[in-house]
Structure 1
Amino acid sequence: MLTPGRSLTLHADAGRELPRVEAFQALYNLGCRPRQGEVIMIAGRSGTQKSGLALYWVAQMGLPTLYFSADMSAFTASSRLASMATGDTTEMVSAGMAAGGRYRQAYLDALAHSRITFAFGSPITWPAVDEEIEAYVELWDDYPQVLVFDNLMDFENAESSYEEQMAVMSGVTELARATGATVIILHHASDKSWEAKSDPWAPPSRDQVKGGLSEKPELSLSVALDPTSLEYRIAVIKARMGPCDPTARRYATLRCHPESTRFSTLEPRLEPITPPTSRPWSPLDTLNK
């Protein structure tokens, strides 16, 4: 049992803001302040680069991270990291690793300083989570500062059971409290709603997140990718500390580079200036002055 002052003193460091990522400036401009020790949900429809965003985010923050991946294969995840580090496309990474020699070594060198540790397997089970965290602590003598679960519906028995999904959210919340780690969990939004069909490139609103589970975390982000312009839109649909918009109509816009799993600030597009059309001189020009 703690007094409010004692609780604030003990947990002040746990609530510090996460390292900022330059490409996310538009999101910070909305008042979004992700903090250490929070449970953060990234929700979006299928094919909206949720995994790419989470991987880019943790790579750019540079914090010790344990990434549970049931949605990406081991090669896909690691080649995305190599692509991100070098700027080469994932196809180039794949070709370079197959070629071997100095090409392979260049990508291995690019990953040498990564602070991300992967745990692969589907479905994700709690015994496996406990074992991976124990192994991480054994290796590094500390808990990871960030835990990523990709994704919620890949937990055992959580594919279609609302009760299991709620149990997963309770479990990751308890995990964040016990370890002090930031937990990022990915989740799906409905592909069958009227909004998904009429405006598929807009971030889904809070009520479109499957199971209504976006209300559980401290921070829930809704994402969408316009494949024609590669504009990436992120809305804050739930924030316990800060502004949010459950309708997701107010969102930050980034530029997505899916070929290299990178994101950048959205540069304004300048319309070309059309020069005036020339025509022969006419006596009327003098009269009109």
Structure 2
Amino acid sequence: MLTPARSLALHAESGKELPRVEAFDALYGLGCRPRHGEVVMIAGRSGTQKSGFALYWAAMMNLPTLYFSADMSAFTASSRLASMATGDSTEMVEAGMAAGGRHREGYLAALAHLSITFSFGSPITWKQIDEEMEAYIELWDAYPAVLVFDNLMDFDGAESDYTEQMAVMSGLTELARATGATVIVLHHASDKSWEAKSDPWAPPSRDQVKGGLSEKPELSLSVALDPNSHEYRVAVIKQRMGPCDPTAKRYASMRCHPEVTRFSKLERIVPAATPARPWSPTDALMK
């Protein structure tokens, strides 16, 4: 049992803001403040670079991270990180690793500074999580600062069962509380709603997130990708300690570079002003 003052003293450090990522400046401009120890959901429709967004976020923060991937293969995840670090496409990374020699050594060296550990396998089970956490603690003598689960519907029994999905979310919340880690979980939004068909490149609103599960985390982000302009849109549809917009009409925009799994600030092109026409004597006659 804790008094309010003692609770604040014990947990003030765990609730501090996560390191900021430069490419996400527009998102921070909306008042979004992801914090240590929170459960964060990234929700979006199929094909909206949810995994790429989570992977880039984790890599740019470069906090000790344990990433559970049931949605990406081991090669896809590692080649995306190599692309991110070097600016080479995944095809170039694949060719370079196959060629060996200095190309292989270069890609491996580019990944050496990252603090991300992966666990692959589908479905994700609680036994797997326990074993991986034990191995991580044995290796580093500490809990990871960030836990990423890609994604919620890849948990054992949670493919379509709402009750099981709610149980998973409760378990992830308990995991965040027990370890102090930030838990990032990816989830799907409906592809069959009227909004998905009429405006497919807009971030889905809170009520389009499958199972209504975006209400459980402290922070829920809704993402969408315009495949034509590569504009990446991120809305804050739930934030316990800050502003949010459940309709997702207000969103931050950034540039997505899917070929290298990178994100950058969206530079808006402002049309140049039309130069004034020089005055001529005929202007006086036209008045």
Same topology, TM > 0.5: yes
User: Which amino acid is the alignment partner of residue 217 of structure 1?
Assistant: P
Q: Which residue of 1 aligns with 2:79?
A: 79
Q: 1:277 to 1:176 in 2, by over 3 A?
A: same
Q: Which residue of 1 aligns with 2:108?
A: 108
> 2-side partners of 1:5 and 1:31: how far apart?
26
Q: Which residue of 1 aligns with 2:168?
A: 168
Q: Which residue of 2 aligns with 1:229?
A: 229
Task: For residue 187 of structure 1, give the secondary structure of its aligned residue in structure 2.
Answer: strand
Task: For residue 35 of structure 1, give the secondary structure of its aligned residue in structure 2.
Answer: coil
> 2-side partners of 1:265 and 1:45: how far apart?
22
Number of residue pairs aligned between Structure 1 and Structure 2: 286
User: Which amino acid is the alignment partner of residue 123 of structure 2?
Assistant: P
Moved more, 96-105 or 71-80: 96-105
User: Which amino acid is the alignment partner of residue 257 of structure 2?
Assistant: H
Q: Which residue of 1 aligns with 2:157?
A: 157
Aligned residue runs from structure 1 range 4-19, under 5 A: 4-19=4-19
- Aligned-pair identity (%): 80
Cα deviation for residue 219 of structure 1 reads: 0.2
Q: 1:285 to 1:180 in 2, by over 3 A?
A: closer
Task: For residue 222 of structure 2, give the secondary structure of its aligned residue in structure 1.
Answer: strand
User: Which amino acid is the alignment partner of residue 233 of structure 2?
Assistant: R
Q: 1:283 to 1:268 in 2, by over 3 A?
A: closer
Give the ranges of 4+ consecutive aligned residues of structure 1 lying more than 6 Å apart after TM superposition.
Answer: 273-278
Moved more, 176-185 or 86-95: 86-95
The runs of 5 or more residues in structure 2 that have no matched partner are none
> 2-side partners of 1:31 and 1:274: how far apart?
36
Q: Which residue of 2 aligns with 1:214?
A: 214
Cα deviation for residue 283 of structure 1 reads: 9.0
Q: Which residue of 1 aligns with 2:99?
A: 99
Q: 1:276 to 1:94 in 2, by over 3 A?
A: farther
> 1-side partners of 2:276 and 2:282: how far apart?
18
> 2-side partners of 1:284 and 1:271: how far apart?
29
Cα deviation for residue 270 of structure 1 reads: 3.2
Q: Which residue of 1 aligns with 2:139?
A: 139
Cα deviation for residue 268 of structure 1 reads: 1.3
Task: For residue 196 of structure 1, give the secondary structure of its aligned residue in structure 2.
Answer: helix
Task: For residue 14 of structure 1, give the secondary structure of its aligned residue in structure 2.
Answer: coil
Task: For residue 234 of structure 2, give the secondary structure of its aligned residue in structure 1.
Answer: strand
User: Which amino acid is the alignment partner of residue 193 of structure 2?
Assistant: S
Q: Which residue of 1 aligns with 2:46?
A: 46
Cα deviation for residue 274 of structure 1 reads: 6.6
> 1-side partners of 2:135 and 2:266: how far apart?
40
Question: What's the C-alpha RMSD, in Å, of the aligned pairs?
Answer: 1.6
> 2-side partners of 1:130 and 1:47: how far apart?
30
Task: For residue 14 of structure 2, give the secondary structure of its aligned residue in structure 1.
Answer: helix
> 2-side partners of 1:288 and 1:168: how far apart?
76
Normalising by structure 2, what TM-score? 0.96
> 2-side partners of 1:206 and 1:286: how far apart?
61
Query: What do residues 182-207 of structure 1 show as CA deviations (whole Å, max 9, x unaligned)?
Result: 00000000000000000000000000
Task: For residue 15 of structure 1, give the secondary structure of its aligned residue in structure 2.
Answer: coil
Q: 1:286 to 1:39 in 2, by over 3 A?
A: closer
Matched, 1:177 2:181: no
Cα deviation for residue 269 of structure 1 reads: 1.1
